[in-house]
Structure 1
Amino acid sequence: MATNPTKISRLRQHFLSGRSLTQLEAIGLYGAFRLAARVHQLKAEGFKFDTVMKADPMGNPYAEYRLRMRRVR
């Protein structure tokens, strides 16, 4: 029986594929409701992120995360 990948591992793979991610996308794609916390975990692993603040049509701010570089060892 195969084990399901964890949310953090699926998010890690998403970012390593070169794609960006917002909270709304994280909920829809991975059921991840705390994207900022998961990004914080990945930063603790040594990943570097660029964060771009955007606004939706109503003016509400949200963050878009993109991996800047892989782990630094």
Structure 2
Amino acid sequence: MSSTITYTVSGMSCGHCEKSVSSEVSGIPGVTEVAADAKAGTVTISSQSPIDDAQVRSAVDEAGYELVGRTA
């Protein structure tokens, strides 16, 4: 079963930011697709298994940005 979740990320402002966040989040086990959008301030993650918010927060932190929360 796959799932898709969108998170709000603070601090992204350009394509380089999107690539940094996407690269880090892609390393989370089970993640199949990542789409970061600096303009919207979001990262959408698809995975084959449930996504651990703590792992996402850690990956976004590692990229140098702040995970604010999940979008509705």
TM-score (norm 2): 0.32
* More helix, by proportion: 1
